[in-house]
């Protein structure tokens, strides 16, 4: 039953985006406290975590606030992977240093920010020396630091030059510094660690949400909004979110994993809240059922994001959906990595891929300078498949829905089009020139070939029947002629038995 969407109160769940300064991040209190104490004690810390663990949320809504409470000045979040405008690419800038300084400039009003050419040649130590106030309380936070390694694998000299300048700043200005990155990139820092003070020996690993932390992240925001999220409903939601596929004895089975991805938790809870009655004071297991289970919420999220990406980039939505289902998911229902994107190298493909990564639907991994793409989580497999099936049913004609099935089933004849269905496909193709996928073109061609073969077989059978009828008629006519009275052919000669005639 459809419920009334709550309009009178704000949604306490942030959905797929990171938490921001001033927002309460539940479920991470212990990690925030431990990271704060470690950074204060050691001054330089490398924070690493799996993709999707919520690193950015932790430093924005957790660590930054805690450090400010301790009297530190947390400078704007630093990213080192910004692309320079085409007009500036010929300038003698170190892209990593320039990107870092541009981020730090965001603390100033727009009219007071330096121009790009004014930042040229300026090192981080020089920049920090010019800051107002007490510098010994400054904290630098480098988010998504793997961008240093991923941006251009061939420019080791620029990376080294940037890290040398960074090392000078960390030694001379002695700010506190936290480096935040995905754990699968940590080993790539090894050749450069010697350029930094402490060689980043102090590390902190952030994991995905455990079962208890996930329940806290689910229940506490609702409680802040004066709504009780009952224990049984929270437990049911957590179990659904941590469900995953594993291989056992050669078969793919579902099992409960140890962790929950924060983004998926926020997506489901955000949609659950939107479907509550405006006067609801309690969330029960029945509400979990109303939201259509986790699969339905994740399928809706996938559908929304793919639709937005297609509309805003001009990409073919069907191509994106087909790529998800055929290139990122095996026939057995497992994740698989792909080397190519959904648009066969078209100009907008990189934009589409970046948008899909920003939406946490796809993640990219660089191995040996090669980018591998994969679905962000096993938990998305069934929602992607289910939503793609619904979308095809609503948006594609019969032959386009049947062509992938025909290919998947090894091209059986009984799935080919015949009669009116084939004629309808021909009309659609005539009205939409160039709108066919290769498998659809092959499917329609195979259907025509089979129809021609059927007609040829029918003609051959008709000819055989006709000849058989004619032959039977000839036989009957011949027999009748032999047996008719007065026919000389019906009076045998006297020696028909071999008796000689008398002379």
The pair of three-digit structure tokens given for residue 40, joined into one six-digit string: 């204060």
Q: What is the pLDDT of residue 147?
A: 87
Distance CA(361)–CA(303), nearest Å, equals 11
Residue 354 burial (CB count, 10 A): 14
The size of the chain, in residues, is: 503
CATH architecture of 29-205: 3-Layer(aba) Sandwich (3.40)
**DSSP class per residue in 172-196:** HT--EEEEEEEGGGGGGGGGGGGGS
pTM: 0.68
pLDDT of 88 > 50? The answer is: no
The two most distant CA atoms of the chain are separated, in Å, by 154
Q: What is the pLDDT of residue 291?
A: 57
Least confident of 174-188, 269-283, 363-377: 363-377
Distance CA(218)–CA(389), nearest Å, equals 30
| 169-197 per-position pLDDT tens digit | 999 889 999 999 999 899 999 999 999 99
Domain residue spans in the chain? Answer: 29-205, 211-291, 313-395, 397-462
Instruction: With beta carbons less than 8 A apart as the criterion, state whether 49 and 55 touch.
Output: yes
| 184-240 per-position pLDDT tens digit | 899 999 999 999 999 999 999 999 999 999 999 999 999 999 999 999 999 999 988
The better pLDDT of the pair 406, 142 is held by 142
Q: Is the dihedral of CA 372, 377, 378, 382 positive or negative?
A: negative
pLDDT-derived band of residue 16, with 50, 70 and 90 as boundaries? confident
Q: Which of 1.10.10, 2.40.240, 1.10.3470, 1.20.120 is the CATH number of 313-395? A: 1.10.10
Q: What is the pLDDT of residue 119?
A: 84
């Amino acid at each position: 039953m459809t419920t009334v969407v709550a309009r009178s109160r704000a949604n306490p769940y942030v959905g797929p985006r990171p938490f921001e300064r001033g927002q309460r991040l539940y479920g991470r209190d212990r990690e925030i406290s431990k990271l704060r104490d470690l950074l204060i004690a050691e001054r330089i810390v490398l924070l690493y975590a799996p993709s999707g663990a919520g690193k950015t949320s932790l430093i924005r809504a957790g660590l930054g606030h805690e450090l400010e409470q301790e009297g530190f000045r947390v400078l704007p979040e630093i990213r080192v992977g910004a692309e320079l405008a085409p007009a500036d690419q010929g300038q003698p800038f170190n892209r990593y240093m320039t990107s870092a300084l541009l981020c730090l400039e965001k603390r100033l009003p727009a009219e007071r920010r330096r121009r790009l050419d004014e930042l040229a040649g300026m090192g981080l130590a020089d920049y920090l020396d010019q800051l107002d106030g007490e510098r010994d309380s400054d904290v630098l936070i480098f988010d998504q630091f793997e961008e240093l390694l991923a941006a251009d694998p061939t420019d080791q000299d620029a990376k080294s030059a940037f890290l040398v300048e960074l090392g000078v700043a960390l030694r001379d200005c002695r700010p506190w510094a936290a480096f935040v990155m995905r754990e699968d990139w940590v080993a790539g820092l090894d050749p450069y660690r010697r350029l930094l003070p402490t060689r980043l020996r102090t590390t902190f690993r952030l994991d995905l949400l455990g079962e208890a932390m996930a329940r806290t992240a689910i229940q506490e925001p609702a409680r802040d909004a004066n709504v009780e999220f009952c224990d049984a409903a929270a437990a049911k939601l957590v179990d659904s979110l941590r469900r995953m596929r594993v291989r056992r004895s050669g078969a793919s089975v579902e099992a409960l994993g140890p962790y929950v991805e924060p983004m998926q938790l926020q997506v489901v809870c955000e949609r659950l809240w939107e479907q509550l009655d405006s006067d609801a004071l309690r969330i029960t297991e029945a509400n979990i059922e109303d939201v259509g289970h986790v699969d339905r919420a994740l399928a809706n999220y996938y559908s929304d994001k793919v639709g937005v990406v297609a509309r805003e980039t001009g990409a073919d939505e069907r191509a994106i959906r087909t790529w998800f289902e055929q290139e990122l998911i095996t026939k057995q229902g497992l994740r698989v990595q792909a080397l190519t994107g959904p648009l066969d190298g078209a100009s907008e493909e990189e934009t589409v891929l970046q948008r899909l990564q920003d939406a946490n639907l796809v993640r990219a991994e660089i191995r040996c300078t090669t980018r591998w793409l994969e679905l962000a989580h096993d938990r998305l497999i069934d929602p992607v498949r289910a939503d793609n099936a619904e979308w095809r049913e609503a948006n594609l004609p019969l032959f386009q829905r049947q062509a992938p099935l025909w290919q998947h089933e090894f091209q059986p004849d009984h799935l080919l089009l015949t009669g009116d269905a084939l004629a309808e496909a021909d009309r659609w193709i005539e009205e939409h020139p160039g709108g066919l996928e290769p498998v659809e073109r092959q499917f329609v061609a195979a259907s025509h070939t089979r129809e021609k073969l059927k007609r040829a077989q029918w003609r051959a059978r008709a000819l055989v029947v006709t000849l058989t009828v004619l032959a039977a008629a000839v036989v009957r006519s011949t027999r009748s002629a032999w047996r008719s009275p007065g026919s000389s052919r019906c009076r045998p000669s006297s020696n028909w038995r071999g008796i000689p005639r008398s002379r």
